[in-house]
Structure 1
Amino acid sequence: MQRLLTDHKIITKTQLEDVTPDACGAGQVRLKLESFALTANNVTYAASGFAIGYWHFFPTGIEGQGLVPVWGTAEVTESNFDDLPVGTRLYGFYPLAEELVITAQADGHGGFVDAAAHRAELPAVYNRYTPVRRGEASEDHMRALLQPLLATSYLLFDWLMDNDRFGAEQIIIGSASSKTGLGLCKYLAEPAERDYKIIGLTSERNRSFVEDLGACDQVLTYDEIDQLPKRSSVYVDMSGNAAVKADVHSTLGAHLKHSSAVGISHWDQFNPQNAVEGVKPQFFFAPAQIAKRREEWGPGVMEKQITQAWKRLAADAGSWLDVRVHNGIGEAAAVYTALADGSANPREGHIITL
């Protein structure tokens, strides 16, 4: 069995490793990955591996080496759990590897969780596995590429509306070319009557891409931050770029009502200790908003809204997403590196098939 190890400290440093597959014990099932997505989201998982706990999902047993989590689809190839016979296909959270053995447990809603002891204290949303039918491969690809990212986009939108946008007249999205960023822009643009402006921040290289999305009222490059309108604002930061964040804060000053940290796509420019003017940035943790809505609305309601929302945007994905399929886990290293060093094309969505 092969897996791609990532250095905890130098997250662009990877190595392909052959290992003996784990045994499949009582109550466990072996899942062979069929395909998974690689996006800037996976870079965030690696960059925040200890701060949020992503390195703890799939322990490697090797000091300083981790398995970056990915979203994908796998097939049960060995089962010691009656509710998951061989041939069942599950969508969920996997290691960047060819196989995973989970301790299966029904979740009471038609899905399953990995009840392994080391995952018990980790966010429940990442421990769930959903049965999926075998259809067109493109269905698996779009689900893996867009469901996790656009789910976060929609949860951000819901959270902003839930908090009445903190009273802001404009919402500024950093790294608007990222899938999560563009998803948020599109959800914010959906209401027919809205009393807020949407401003996308991006690089000069990606400016036309963001403008062509048609969701932002204004698109500015990072060196144009001083042109931000001086009105009450919320900043939603997908990049984690400390210099950009400092510029936004200093430009807007008291006009900035809330600053939210979401992703770290610019992980090499991330500096959590960097002081900024005005409001203190706060980390947005999507599972917390899901938990809040479950308590308020009951189980399953928010999940249905998320599914409807990401499929709504996925139906239009042909206008802003080109799917690139790569065969074999050995191809994953180059794709991951391009995402990590920022050279990846924002129009492209990458799938690894096994």
Structure 2
Amino acid sequence: MNSTDFIVVRNDLPQGKIIETQLPDGAALPADALLVKVVSFAFTANNITYAVIGEQLKYWNLFPAPQGYGIIPVWGFGEVIASKHPNVAAGETLFGYFPMATHLVIEAADVTKRGLRDAAAHRQEVSPVYNVYSRVSDDPTYAGRQGDYRALMLPLFMLSFMVDDFLAENEFYGARRVMLSSASSKTAFGLAHLLHKRPGVRVVGLTSKGNVDFVKSLGCYDEVVTYDHVTALPQGEPTAYVDMAGNSALRETLHRHLGVQMVHSLRVGLTHRASDADEPVLPGAKPVWFFAPDQIRKRAREWGPGGVDRRFGAAWAELVPHLPDWIRVVERRGVHAVREAYLDTLQGRVPPDQGLILSLAE
């Protein structure tokens, strides 16, 4: 049996191609291994961020590819089609981190009623959260359109949730205004939804002219400003900047405009793919990267067993009713459709209200 894989050139992301890789058949699987068919996966600008920082954060290690190439990780659903683990049956549905491929072999470990872990050696250098799969066959909240929304938003909203928690924990570093670049992105508006509930801070969305109407329609930004008007923002208000865009020129413009009133500058995403390797020292707070797994581990210790899940679950439940109004799910199948969707996302051509659910299988 072969898997169809979509691979990209690591240092030239627009260059991608389809390859076939050989898989063991069910009988030849190692002990405790699962052969999983990748049924569908979400693809968003966040997956581009995974690719851009794949070397730095070991994302390329998750799913091996030929030298110089990488397989971009995606969140989605898989069906177990063969199992050598005594407690996992063929036909089960798993939700988790998959390759842009049609199949994956998982070395199942730590199997419980709720989930399991891929113990493959090459996957152990990343945060454990990326190696965990939920067993969701009998969970209606992972079925149908609800499942699509989970694939599109759940991992991104965990990032939003942790940024919100981090800022609140630090009392927003004294900021009375929080600005989010790439305000139309799913991680940004998930964060804006949470921040909007916080007393004492105004939420400002920075976006392109073409996305203004969509960002305003979300109802979770107090103000929406286009990138070409950021220097018109009032300068006297302590401001925290959450950078989803990863645009060095924009970051420099904002820091120089606000000066010492830029009290915190958090780098989260790279939707614009416009970061310079060598950036000048900027006025105001030094820009720092936010890494969600660090905050998750910290809160897991402080909140105790199940504490993160309970709090996140409550926040997710409040978000879910908004998603049908905010996201229009678009399904695309087959190798040509996936390649096109990838390039559209890479070049910023996907409308902000669209959520791509993809499959390499025809």
**Corresponding residue to 1:334 among 340, 349, 354:** 340
Q: Distance in 1 between matches of 2:229 and 2:111?
A: 49
- The equivalences for 1:272-311 within 5 A come to 272-278=277-283, 279-311=285-317
Structure-2 separation of matches of 1:250 and 1:237: 15
Q: Cα distance, 1:276 vs. partner? A: 4.3
Bigger shift: residues 328-337 or 243-252? 328-337
Q: Aligned AA for 2:240?
A: V
DSSP-derived class of the 1:346 partner: coil
The residue that corresponds to 2:102 in the other structure is 98
How is 1:72-91 mapped onto 2 (pairs within 5 angstroms)? 72-91=76-95
Q: Answer whether contact 2:255 2:282 (CA < 8 A) is retained.
A: yes
> What does 1:256-271 align with in structure 2 at a 5 Å threshold?
256-267=262-273, 269-271=274-276
Distance change >3 Å, CA 165–CA 109, structure 1 → 2: farther
The Cα shift of 1:219 comes to 0.8
Report the TM-score, using the length of structure 2 for normalisation.
0.93
* Distance of aligned partners of 1:109 and 1:303 in 2 relative to their CA distance in 1, 3 Å threshold: farther
TM-score normalized by the length of structure 1: 0.95
Is 1:54 aligned with 2:56? no
- CA 276–205 in structure 1, closer or farther in 2 if over 3 Å, else same: farther
Q: Distance in 1 between matches of 2:55 and 2:37?
A: 27
Q: Tell me the residue number matched to 1:315.
A: 321
Secondary structure at the residue paired with 1:26? coil
Contact 1:329 1:352 in 2 (8 A): no
1:10: how far off?
1.1
Q: Report the AA paired with residue 221 of structure 1.
A: T
Structure 2 Cα separation of the partners of residues 139 and 255 of structure 1: 42
Match of 1:115 in 2: 119
> For the structure 1 residues 109 and 298, does the alpha-carbon distance in structure 2 shift closer, same or farther, using more than 3 Å as the test?
farther
Unpaired stretches in structure 2, ≥5 consecutive residues: none
Which residue pairs with 1:12 in the alignment?
A: 14
Query: Which of these residues, 32, 38, 49, is aligned with residue 27 of structure 1?
Result: 32
Please give the alpha-carbon distance, in whole angstroms, between the structure 2 residues aligned to 1:202 and 1:304.
Answer: 33
User: Structure 1 residue aligned with 2:155, among 142, 148, 169?
Assistant: 148
Residue 239 in structure 1 maps to residue 241 in structure 2: no
Out of 185, 194, 208, the residue aligned to residue 187 of structure 1 is 194
Contact 1:171 1:235 (C-alpha < 8 Å) held by counterparts: yes
Q: What is the rounded CA distance, in whole Å, between the counterparts of 1:159 and 1:107 in structure 2?
A: 31
Where does 1:161-200 land on structure 2 (aligned, <5 Å)?
161-191=168-198, 194-200=199-205
Equivalent AA in structure 1 for residue 86 of structure 2 = D
**What SS does structure 2 have at the residue aligned with 1:206?**
helix
Contact 1:146–1:314 (8 Å) recurs in 2? no
Q: Secondary structure at the match of 1:19?
A: strand
Structure 1 stretches of 4+ moved >6 Å: none
The alpha-carbon distance between structure 1 residues 141 and 329, as it changes in their structure 2 partners (threshold 3 A), is: farther
- The answer as to 2:213 corresponding to 1:213 is no
Distance 2:281 2:193 in 1: 28
Aligned pairs for 1:118-137 within 5 A: 118-133=122-137, 135=140, 136-137=143-144
* 17-26 vs 140-149, which moves further: 17-26
Letter in 1 for 2:254: V
Asked if 1 retains the 8 angstrom alpha-carbon contact of 2:30 and 2:84, the reply is yes
Q: Compute the displacement of 1:108 (Å).
A: 5.5
2: distance between equivalents of 1:164 and 1:90?
38
What SS does structure 1 have at the residue aligned with 2:183? Answer: coil
Q: 1:272 to 1:259 in 2, by over 3 A?
A: farther
Match of 1:222 in 2: 227
Q: Give the distance between the partners of 1:344 and 1:320, measured in 2 at CA.
A: 14
Structure 1 match to 2:353: 347
Residue 84 of structure 1 aligns to which amino acid in structure 2? V
After TM superposition, the structure 1 stretch with the greater mean CA deviation from structure 2, 306-315 or 228-237, is: 306-315
Shift of 1:107: 5.7
Deviates more, 1:72-81 or 1:99-108: 99-108
Contact 1:159–1:289 (Cα < 8 Å) also in 2: yes
1:166 maps to amino acid: Y
CA RMSD across the alignment: 1.5
How far apart are the structure 1 equivalents of 2:39 and 2:317?
22
User: The residue matched to 2:350 in structure 1 has which SS?
Assistant: coil
* Cα displacement (A) at 1:348: 0.1
Query: Using the alignment, how far apart are the partners of 2:151 and 2:40 within structure 1?
Result: 8
Write out per-residue CA displacement over residues 153-188 of structure 1, whole angstroms, 9 at most, x where no aligned residue. Answer: 111111111111111111010111000001111111
How many residue pairs end up in the alignment? 350
* CA displacement, residues 59-93 of structure 1 (integer Å, 9 cap, x when unaligned): 11x11100000000101111111121111111000
1:157 partner letter: D
- Which structure exhibits the higher relative contact order, with contacts defined as CA atoms closer than 8 Å and separated by 6 or more residues? 1
